[in-house]
Amino acid sequence: MTGEDILFNKQVLKSIVLEQRKALMAEGSGTPREQYDELKTQLAIPHALIICGLRRAGKSTLLLQLILHEYQGDVFYFNLEDERLIGFTVQDFNTLYEVMMELYGEKEVFFLDEIQNIPDWERFVRRLQNQKIKFVITGSNASLLSKELGTKLTGRHIEIELFPYLFKEFLTNQKVTYSENSFLLTTERALLKKQFNEYMQIGGIPEYVTYRLPHILTTLYENILFKDIIVRYEIHSVRAFRELTLYLISNVGTLISYTKLKNALNLGSVNTVKNYIYYLENSFLILTIDSYAYSILQQALSQKKIYAIDVGLINAMSIQFSRNGGQLLENAVFLELRRRYKMICYYRTKNNLEVDFVIQENKKVILLIQVCESLSNEKTRHRELTAITTAMSELGLKEGLILTLDETDTIKLEKNQIVNVMPIYQWLLK
């Protein structure tokens, strides 16, 4: 590489750095996110903060909030998603750092957006960490949350997931306030129900919540499939991959069989199906949970249960006739559980009854949750109560929770078992 090439590269990078910063500062600071306070408490620690999540879920806006409110803009910032950076490699980070120093002088904090585009980026981060530089990094690829990353950064990182708006954040965006008393007051309760019904239709992708233009969701979906998966992993059976994705997003809350999917889509092997689902999980579009089991082998052999990252995307992209309201409600509950807990499974009783969610903390089961639209139908009520109480007996719990669209009850049963029934919108705001 010649001296002229290096100078040219620096001039290009200077232009990009300045334009990116101007564009970032021109954006509004957006809706406050649940993870903000969690991130704020980690800023004093020298570890790199890794924020992962779906494209367009609000990661850059969250960075801007931190930059403005915690650092008053006194940081380095660079977005690696910029199309002008095609060909940028880990070797170019040093030139970028020189450019930042020339433009802004020394800074103690470096924000890097969409880092997954640059292979071996952690080498640069580790080197500057040794020079006491703090990093806040975002990415749209779940491999950033893998154990391998812990090895690459020698354990000096903290991982945080950012999902599209949860219901609390949706209400904040809509400027709707509430309190505990809101659930007791007819007018305020009706407003919360109305907002929940709207949330279940449009979901929580920030840009779509703001503008409500259908192409926002379809473009996001296509970008994830092509940019994040098909191109990245060099998938040749594009049609089969798209059909698999459509099937999964249309059947949230159901168990999946790799063999059945392989046969239905004429894919070469079960491993191909497994790889495709892994890629979808890596991009955060699809999420899965395992069956609760007493051994890792049992869990590995059980079927997975499938969910999507956003109910708005489900409504926009799924085959309408193959889903129902109960599945959407279950998906919304799962997303909230994913935010609150690390260990989420489904449960199969000894007589093969299914409970939607079993929550563990410190290897101990603490909560069982069943989700359904309503218990008003006697057959449905019997089915749901039988499943959850059987699971409670097997797992040694005295209380269970059934979440419905709009029912409140405390059901006391034999053996001192209690099943609480609560509206989902109310539980989401607890």
Contact 301, 259 (CB under 8 A): no
Cα–Cα dist 60/112, whole Å: 10
Per-residue H/E/C for 412-423: ECHHHCEEEEEE
Please check the confidence at residue 3 and state whether its pLDDT lies above 50. no
pLDDT at 185: 95
pLDDT at 320: 66
pLDDT at 8: 43
Q: In the block, which residue shows the tokens 């990009």?
A: 16
Most confident of 290-294, 298-302, 420-424: 420-424
Pairing of strands 399-404, 409-412: unpaired
Cα–Cα dist 5/233, whole Å: 31
pLDDT one-digit tens code per residue, 393-407: 999 999 999 999 999
Cα–Cα dist 249/241, whole Å: 12
Q: What percent of the chain has pLDDT over 70?
A: 95
**Other residues' Cβ atoms within 10 Å of the Cβ of residue 32:** 15
Which DSSP string corresponds to 86-115? Answer: TT--GGGHHHHHHHHHHHH---SEEEEESG
User: What residue ranges define each of the domains in the chain, with the CATH number in brackets?
Assistant: 3-161 (3.40.50.300), 334-430 (no CATH)
pLDDT one-digit tens code per residue, 165-183: 999 999 999 999 999 999 9
pLDDT one-digit tens code per residue, 130-173: 999 999 999 998 887 776 677 778 778 999 999 999 999 999 99
Cα–Cα dist 55/254, whole Å: 25
b/e string for 66-75 if b means 16 or more Cβ within 10 A? Answer: bbeeebeeeb
Contact 416, 320 (CB under 8 A): no
pLDDT at 299: 67
pLDDT one-digit tens code per residue, 383-393: 999 999 999 99
**Phi/psi zone of residue 106: left (φ > 0), alpha (ψ -120 to 50 degrees), beta?**
beta
Binning pLDDT at 50, 70 and 90, where does residue 87 land?
confident
pLDDT at 148: 63
pLDDT at 111: 98
- Mean of pLDDT values over 114-130: 92
Please check the confidence at residue 102 and state whether its pLDDT lies above 60. yes
Mean per-residue pLDDT of the chain:
92
- Mean of pLDDT values over 235-253: 96
- Mean of pLDDT values over 33-42: 93
pLDDT at 297: 65
Q: In the block, which residue shows the tokens 């490699």?
A: 89
pLDDT at 143: 80
pLDDT at 5: 47
Contact 10, 95 (CB under 8 A): yes
- Mean of pLDDT values over 416-422: 97
